[in-house]
C-alpha cells in the first residue's frame, strides 16, 4: 500500500475515532454532567455540548473535508488525463477511503436544505449576533444547527463500533431513567434536591433538569432500546432491552409531562406499523404493550404501598399508574397475545401477516381520525357549539382552549400566530432569526407589555412552546418547510429500508416520537442532539446495508 493511500486511511481512522469519541461523551457523560446540581443546568450542559463538539467534530470535519477534497481533485485529474484503465479499482478504493464522496441520499439533501434555510434566516434575522448563538439558556441558534448537521454527516459516514456505542447509550440513559423514578419516590442518592424547596422539586428531575427537558430526553433516548427489543433475536439481548424499556416506561408515567404520553402513542404507532410485516414482529409489539402497561401498574402499586414517599403527580400520569382502566388495557393485550400464540401453534409455517397492509391503513386512519376528533371537540367546546348541539360542555384543562390551555400554551400559541400574521411577506418567508423569538417579541413595546402582563416582569417567553410553530416564527416558511422536509425524508428513507436494515427503525421512531413530543415543547440541548444522532446512526446503517 502506497504512502498516499496510508495517509488517506489514517485520516479516515482519525475522523472515525473523533466521531466515536463525541458519541461516547454525549451519550455517557453529557446526561450526568452538572455543577451545583440544578443551578444553571441547561447552560452548563450546552457548554459541555459545545466544548466536546469543538474538540471532536470540528477537527473531524476539517479532516473529512480535506480528504474528500483531495479525492475529488484526484478524480478530476484522472478524468482530465483520461486515465480510465484502473478506474474501477481506484473508484473502489476511493469509496472506502472517502465515505463523504459517496452519493447523497434524499435525507442528505434534505439536511443540506435545512442548513441552507437556517442560514438564510440568520442572514435576514433581526439580530445576527443573537441568531448565531441563540437565546441565553437555550442557545439553539445557527451555531448549534451547524454543529448538528456536521455531526449528522460525520456519523452517517464514519460511524464505528455502533453496537458498543448504542450499548453505552442504553446503559447511561437507563441510569438516568432509574434516577428519575427514584426522585418521584423522594429517594435522592446524588443529593440533587439539596437546597431546593420542596414545592420546586416536582419541576426538576434526574440529572437532566427541568421536567419538560427531561421528558424530551427520555422519549427520544427510549427509541433506541425499543428498537433493539423489537428486532433482537437473541433472548439475552431482548431481555436486557426489555428491562431498559420498563425503566423508560416507568419514568414516562412519573415524569409528569403530558407531552410524553403523546410521544408514546407515536412510538407504539411506529412499532405497530412495522409489526404488520410478520407474526414475529407483531408478537414483539404486543410484548412492548405488556411491558408498558405492566410498568405503569408496577409504578402505581409502589405509589399505593409508599404514599408518603410518592410525589403527587398530574391527573394523566396518575390515571395510567393508578386507575383500573390500565389493568383493563393490560388484560386485553394479554388476551390478544395469548390468541396470537395459540394461532401460531396451529399455523407454525405462517410467518407473514397477509392483511398487514390493511392493518396499517386502519391504524393510520384511526390515529389521524382520533386526532381530528380531539381537535374538533376542543373547537366545538370552546366555541359553545358542544353545549348548543348536545347540551354538554367542559371547563377541563384539555377541552377548553383558552389562554390557560396546556399550561399557558393557549396564550403562547395564540400570541405567536397573531404576531406572525402581522409580519411582512418577506419576513414570513425568512422568519425573525434562529432562536430569536424573545429578541423580536420583547423589542416590540406593545408586545412586550402584553407578555410582561401575562407572565410577569421576571419571566421571559423564549419560544412558542410548539417547535413547529416556533420554527415557522423564527425561520419563516422556508425554514419550516426545510425542517418538516428533513423529518419527512428521514421517515421515508428509514421506512423503505426497514427490511434491509431493521435498525433503521430506530431513526424512524426517533422522528415520530420527537415530532409528537415537541408539538407541545421546544428545541433544547438535552434532546435535539440525540435526535440527530439516532437519525445519523440509522443513515449509516442503511448506507452500509446498501453496499453489502
What pLDDT, on a 0 to 100 scale, did the predictor assign at position 87? 47
C-alpha torsion sign, points 215, 220, 221, 226: positive
**83 pLDDT more than 80:** no
In three-state form (DSSP H/G/I as H, E/B as E, the rest C), the secondary structure along 6-36 is HHHHHHHHHHHHHHHHHHHHHHHHHHHCCCC
Q: How far apart are CA 398 and CA 410, in angstroms?
A: 11
Average pLDDT over residues 460-488: 97
Q: What is the pLDDT of residue 95?
A: 42
More confident residue, 75 or 135: 135
Closest CA to 153 of 119, 110, 117: 110
- Which grid cell is 40? 444553571
Half-sphere exposure of 522 (CA within 13 A, CB side): 25
pLDDT for res 337? 96
Average pLDDT, the chain: 91
Determine which of 68-72, 151-155, 452-456, 522-526 has the lowest per-residue pLDDT on average. 68-72
Percent of all residues in the chain with a pLDDT value above 90, rounded to a whole number: 79
pLDDT at 373 (0 to 100): 95
Average pLDDT over residues 29-44: 93
Average of pLDDT values for 69-84? Answer: 66
Residue labelled with grid coordinates 425499543: 226
Q: Which helix (H) or strand (E) holds 209?
A: strand 209-210
Q: For the ranges 52-61, 338-347, 396-405, 461-470, which has the lowest average pLDDT?
A: 396-405
What pLDDT, on the 0 to 100 scale, is given for residue 75? 67
**Three cell numbers, residue 365:** 386512519
Q: Does residue 197 carry a pLDDT above 90?
A: no
Determine how many CB atoms are found less than 10 A away from the CB of residue 316.
16
- Percentage of the chain with pLDDT > 70? 92
N residues, the chain: 548
pLDDT range class, residue 7, cuts 50, 70, 90: very low
Mean pLDDT of 293-309: 96
Classify burial at 410, counting beta carbons within 10 Å of its beta carbon; exposed 0-12, middle 13-18, buried 19 or more: middle
Phi, psi of 86 (to 5 degrees): -110, 30
pTM of the predicted model over 0.85: yes
Per-residue model confidence (pLDDT) at position 89: 47
pLDDT of 51 > 90? The answer is yes
The per-residue pLDDT for 293 is 98
Q: How far is CA 492 from the centre of its chain?
A: 16
- Name the helix (H) or strand (E) containing 210: strand 209-210
How confident is the model over 203-222, as a mean pLDDT? 95
| C-beta neighbour count of 124 within 10 angstroms | 17
Q: What is the pLDDT of residue 102?
A: 61
Q: What is the pLDDT of residue 444?
A: 92
pLDDT (0 to 100) of residue 130? 96
The pair phi, psi for residue 278, each rounded to 5°, is: -155, 160
CA proximity to 138, closest of 439, 483, 512: 439
Question: What torsion do the CA atoms of 154, 33, 209, 417 make, to the nearest 10 degrees?
Answer: -30
How many CA atoms are closer than 13 Å to the CA of 256, on its beta-carbon side?
A: 18
pLDDT of residue 99: 54
Determine the pLDDT at residue 457: 84
pLDDT range class, residue 328, cuts 50, 70, 90: very high
Q: Give the per-residue pLDDT at 96.
A: 47
pLDDT at 207 over 80: yes
Whether residue 93 is predicted with pLDDT greater than 90 in this model: the reply is no
Q: Is the pLDDT of residue 222 over 80?
A: yes
User: pLDDT (tens digit, 9 = 90+) per residue, 398-420?
Assistant: 888 999 998 899 999 999 999 99
> Using one digit for the tens of pLDDT, what is the confidence trace for 375-394?
999 999 998 888 888 888 88
Residue pLDDT, tens place only, 55-65: 999 999 999 88
Residue 358 has pLDDT above 90, yes or no: yes
pLDDT of residue 353 exceeding 80: yes
Residue 245 near residue 225 (C-beta atoms within 8 A): yes
pLDDT at 134 over 70: yes
In angstroms, rounded to a whole number, what is the distance separating the alpha carbons of residues 269 and 540?
24
pLDDT at 317 over 50: yes
pLDDT at 265: 97
Q: Which three cell numbers stand for residue 486?
A: 428533513
Amino acid at each position: 500500500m502506497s504512502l498516499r493511500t496510508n495517509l488517506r486511511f489514517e485520516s479516515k481512522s482519525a475522523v472515525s475515532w473523533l466521531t466515536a469519541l463525541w458519541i461516547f461523551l454525549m451519550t455517557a457523560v453529557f446526561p450526568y454532567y452538572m455543577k451545583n446540581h440544578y443551578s444553571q443546568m441547561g447552560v452548563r450542559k450546552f457548554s459541555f455540548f459545545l466544548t466536546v463538539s469543538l474538540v471532536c467534530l470540528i477537527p473531524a470535519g476539517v479532516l473529512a473535508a480535506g480528504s474528500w477534497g483531495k479525492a475529488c481533485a484526484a478524480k478530476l485529474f484522472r478524468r482530465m488525463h483520461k486515465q480510465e484503465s484502473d478506474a474501477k479499482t481506484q473508484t473502489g478504493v476511493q469509496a472506502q477511503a472517502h465515505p463523504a464522496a459517496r452519493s447523497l441520499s434524499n435525507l442528505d439533501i434534505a439536511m443540506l436544505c435545512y442548513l441552507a434555510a437556517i442560514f438564510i434566516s440568520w442572514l435576514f434575522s433581526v439580530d445576527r449576533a443573537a441568531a448565531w448563538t441563540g437565546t441565553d439558556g437555550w442557545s439553539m441558534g445557527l451555531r448549534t444547527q451547524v454543529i448538528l448537521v456536521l455531526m449528522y454527516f460525520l456519523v452517517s459516514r464514519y460511524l464505528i463500533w455502533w453496537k458498543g456505542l448504542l450499548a453505552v447509550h442504553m446503559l447511561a440513559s437507563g441510569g438516568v431513567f432509574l434516577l428519575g423514578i427514584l426522585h418521584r419516590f423522594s429517594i435522592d442518592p446524588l443529593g440533587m434536591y439539596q437546597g431546593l424547596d420542596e414545592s420546586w422539586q416536582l419541576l426538576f428531575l434526574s440529572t437532566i433538569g427541568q421536567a419538560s427537558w427531561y421528558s424530551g430526553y427520555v422519549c427520544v433516548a427510549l427509541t433506541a432500546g425499543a428498537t433493539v427489543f423489537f428486532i433482537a433475536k437473541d433472548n439475552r439481548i431482548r431481555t436486557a432491552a426489555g428491562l431498559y424499556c420498563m425503566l423508560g416506561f416507568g419514568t414516562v408515567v412519573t415524569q409528569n409531562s403530558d407531552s410524553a404520553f403523546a410521544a408514546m402513542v407515536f412510538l407504539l404507532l411506529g412499532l405497530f406499523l412495522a409489526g404488520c410485516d410478520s407474526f414475529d414482529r407483531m408478537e414483539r409489539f404486543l410484548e412492548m404493550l405488556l411491558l408498558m402497561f405492566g410498568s405503569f401498574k408496577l409504578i402505581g402499586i409502589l405509589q399505593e404501598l409508599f404514599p408518603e414517599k410518592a410525589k403527587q403527580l398530574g391527573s394523566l400520569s396518575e390515571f395510567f399508574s393508578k386507575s383500573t382502566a390500565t389493568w383493563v388495557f393490560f388484560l386485553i393485550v394479554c388476551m390478544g397475545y395469548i390468541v396470537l400464540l395459540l394461532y401460531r401453534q396451529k399455523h407454525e409455517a405462517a410467518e407473514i401477516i397477509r392483511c398487514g397492509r390493511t392493518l396499517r391503513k386502519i391504524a393510520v386512519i384511526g390515529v389521524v381520525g382520533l386526532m381530528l376528533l380531539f381537535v374538533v371537540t376542543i373547537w366545538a367546546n370552546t366555541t359553545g357549539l358542544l353545549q348548543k348541539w348536545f347540551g354538554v360542555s367542559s371547563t377541563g384543562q384539555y377541552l377548553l382552549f383558552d389562554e390557560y390551555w396546556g399550561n399557558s400554551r393557549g396564550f403562547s400559541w395564540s400570541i405567536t400566530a397573531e404576531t406572525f400574521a402581522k409580519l411582512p411577506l418577506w419576513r414570513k418567508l425568512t422568519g425573525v432569526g434562529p432562536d430569536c423569538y424573545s429578541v423580536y417579541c420583547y423589542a416590540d413595546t406593545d408586545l412586550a407589555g402584553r407578555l410582561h402582563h401575562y407572565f410577569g416582569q421576571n419571566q421571559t417567553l423564549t419560544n412558542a412552546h410548539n417547535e413547529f410553530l416556533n420554527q415557522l416564527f423564527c425561520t419563516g416558511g422556508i425554514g419550516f418547510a426545510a425542517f418538516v422536509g428533513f423529518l419527512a425524508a428521514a421517515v421515508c428513507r428509514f421506512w423503505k429500508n426497514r427490511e434491509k436494515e431493521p435498525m433503521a427503525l430506530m431513526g424512524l421512531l426517533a422522528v415520530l416520537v420527537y415530532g409528537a413530543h415537541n408539538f407541545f415543547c421546544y428545541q433544547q440541548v438535552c434532546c435535539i442532539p440525540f435526535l440527530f444522532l439516532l437519525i445519523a446512526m440509522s443513515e449509516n446503517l442503511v448506507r452500509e446495508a446498501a453496499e453489502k
